């Protein structure tokens, strides 16, 4: 939930005022404490500081192989983020001060979409990868392997944003009632309050903060993966979902010729302790579409 480019920014002060106007004081204080800083990524304009890019070629050290899904084929490069251009305070803490994060995904180019990466089968996580190249590493642009057509390169700029949890986000549920049924009748779910919050229709490209799901909260989906592919009714799911935060999400993007299903988005989530330690190989992936 954030403003599109050119719209008036939604500040923490504004959201705090809304909470105090519509919620009991103790509830407003708790809800406000759940707000998270994040970054929205937009197409860079002339004069903008470039914080990353969609498509094009990744920059990799010579000794780092192109990510491959064993017995399936090479992944496609999706995006890169320049960590030196990202504000650490807006990234839930722990992002490196330099270096590059590169995101790869098995997008169906090799097998015409026969194999799909998703939370329903933890084994398919091999079809999504995050690589971190430290700032001190010698690296150069790497052309895609045969059979992979790179997406057009689209430079991105980063803008600070305040993000809010969805009405069913696991962190919100844990703070107010403990289960999805209890939260439905809680003041934070009341229409009079929710309708005053920023619109949720803008998915967009994001770094840190709360994910903007196309459908249900993505934290529950990666929790399924983390628990070995459990059913939605597994009692451990709620607690596990609360332990994952957004690393980055990439929306469908016409300029980059990226269309994820029917106007969907790709999501990488990570545990805060792995983010702080730079263990980006432990990030988990999911995607959603309309």
Looking only at Cα atoms, what is the longest distance across the chain? 60
Q: What is the pLDDT of residues 207-242, one digit of tens each?
A: 999 999 999 999 999 999 999 999 988 999 999 999
Q: What is the pLDDT of residues 26-49, one digit of tens each?
A: 999 999 999 999 999 999 999 999
Residue with tokens 């009632």: 177
For residue 193, give the H/E element and its range. helix 191-194
Q: What is the pLDDT of residues 52-66, one digit of tens each?
A: 999 999 999 999 999
pTM: 0.94
Count of residues making up the chain: 290
For residue 16, give the H/E element and its range. helix 12-22
Give the alpha-carbon dihedral of 3, 164, 105, 287, to 10 degrees: -100
Spatial separation of the C-alpha atoms in residues 206 and 191, rounded to whole Å: 26
Residue 132, token pair as written in the block: 């971190």
Spatial separation of the C-alpha atoms in residues 204 and 151, rounded to whole Å: 17
Residue with tokens 């809680």: 186
**Can you list the domains of the chain with their CATH numbers?**
12-288 (2.30.320.10)
User: In which region does residue 51 sit, left (phi positive, over 0), alpha (psi from -120 to 50) or beta (all else)?
Assistant: alpha
pLDDT band (50, 70, 90) for residue 4: very low
Which of 211, 212, 219 has the alpha carbon at shortest distance from 173?
219
Is the separation of the CB atoms in 172 and 210 below 8 Å? no
Q: What is the pLDDT of residues 160-205, one digit of tens each?
A: 889 999 999 999 999 997 788 888 889 999 999 999 888 766 799 9
Q: What is the pLDDT of residues 263-284, one digit of tens each?
A: 999 999 999 999 989 999 999 9
Give the contacts of 4 (CB within 8 A, at least 6 positions apart): 202, 204
Which of 88, 86, 94, 79 has the alpha carbon at shortest distance from 129?
79
């Amino acid at each position: 939930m954030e403003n599109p480019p050119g719209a008036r920014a939604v500040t923490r002060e504004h959201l705090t005022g809304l909470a105090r106007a519509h919620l009991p004081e103790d509830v407003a204080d708790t809800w406000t404490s759940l707000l998270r800083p994040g970054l929205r990524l937009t197409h860079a304009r002339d004069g903008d500081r470039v914080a990353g890019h969609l498509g094009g070629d990744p920059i990799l050290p010579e000794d780092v192989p192109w990510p491959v899904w064993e017995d399936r084929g090479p992944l496609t490069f999706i995006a890169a983020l320049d960590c030196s251009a990202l504000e650490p305070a807006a990234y839930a803490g722990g992002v490196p001060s330099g270096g590059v994060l590169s995101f790869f995904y098995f997008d169906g180019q090799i097998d015409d979409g026969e194999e799909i990466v998703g939370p329903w089968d933890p084994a398919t996580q091999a079809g999504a990868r995050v690589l971190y190249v430290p700032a001190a590493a010698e690296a150069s642009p790497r052309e895609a392997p045969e059979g992979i057509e790179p997406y057009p390169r689209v430079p991105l700029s980063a803008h600070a944003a305040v993000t809010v949890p969805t009405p069913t986000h696991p962190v919100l549920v844990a703070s107010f009632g403990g289960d999805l049924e209890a939260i439905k009748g809680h003041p934070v779910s009341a229409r009079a309050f929710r309708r005053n919050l920023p619109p949720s229709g803008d998915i967009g490209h994001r770094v840190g903060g709360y994910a903007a799901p196309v459908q249900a909260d993505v934290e529950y989906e990666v929790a399924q993966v983390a628990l070995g592919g459990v059913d939605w009714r597994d009692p451990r799911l709620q607690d596990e979902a609360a332990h994952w935060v957004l690393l980055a999400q990439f929306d469908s993007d016409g300029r980059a010729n990226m269309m994820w299903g029917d106007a969907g988005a790709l999501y990488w989530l990570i545990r805060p302790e792995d983010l702080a330690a730079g263990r980006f190989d432990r990030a988990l992936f999911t995607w959603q579409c309309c």
